[in-house]
């Protein structure tokens, strides 16, 4: 499988911001979300603003499971999650992602190591390119942690399913 390449505009701060298409709450379409690449973050997160843009209602979000407490600038917050989120990078779709959020917090949308560990990745700041290649060995998963599935769109699997 060829690498996933995401173009970005290099920032003077060295921060990498990636535009990633995320499946909307109604699972009918994708919306672009600007994630900050954060290899030191354990979790991939969505901001409250981006959750609203994707169509997630406060009523639904309040029913999501709590993962645990997280420290933020405003103090400790409940870190909750949504399973089975799909992310799209051009002609590639990653299905089965778990994304985290904290209602009422200033948490940013971050692309973290929970998804990155499936890949060998590199950042070319001069070219403004972030590249991910599927790792040869799948990561070990904790109990209850979802397994990601990566597809090339318009590709047919062995069972006849077209993505």
Model confidence pLDDT, tens digit, residues 2-30: 888 888 887 767 789 999 999 999 999 99
Class of domain 4-152 as given by CATH: mainly beta
Q: What is the mean pLDDT of residues 127-134?
A: 89
Model confidence pLDDT, tens digit, residues 75-104: 788 899 999 999 998 888 888 899 999 988
Q: Is the pLDDT of residue 118 over 70?
A: yes
Q: Is the pLDDT of residue 63 over 90?
A: yes
The pLDDT assigned to 66 comes to: 93
The pLDDT assigned to 64 comes to: 95
Instruction: Tally Cβ neighbours within 10 Å of residue 153.
Output: 11
DSSP-based helix, strand, coil % in the chain, nearest 5:
10, 45, 45
Residues with Cβ within 8 Å of residue 15, at least 6 apart in sequence: 36, 37
């Amino acid at each position: 499988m060829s690498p996933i390449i995401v173009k970005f505009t290099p920032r003077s701060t060295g921060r990498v911001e990636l535009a990633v298409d995320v499946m909307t709450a109604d699972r009918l379409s994708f919306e672009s979300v600007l994630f900050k690449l954060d290899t030191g973050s354990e979790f991939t997160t969505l901001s409250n603003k981006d959750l609203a843009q994707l169509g997630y209602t406060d009523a639904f979000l309040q029913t999501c499971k709590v993962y645990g407490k997280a420290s933020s600038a405003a103090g400790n917050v409940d870190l909750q999650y949504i399973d089975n989120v799909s992310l799209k990078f051009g002609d590639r779709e990653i299905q089965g992602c778990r994304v985290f959020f904290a209602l009422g917090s200033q948490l940013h949308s971050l692309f973290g190591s929970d998804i990155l560990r499936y890949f060998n990745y590199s950042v070319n700041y001069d070219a403004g390119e972030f590249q991910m290649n599927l790792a040869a060995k799948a990561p070990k998963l904790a109990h209850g942690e979802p397994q990601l599935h990566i597809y090339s769109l318009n590709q047919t699997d062995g069972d006849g399913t077209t993505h």
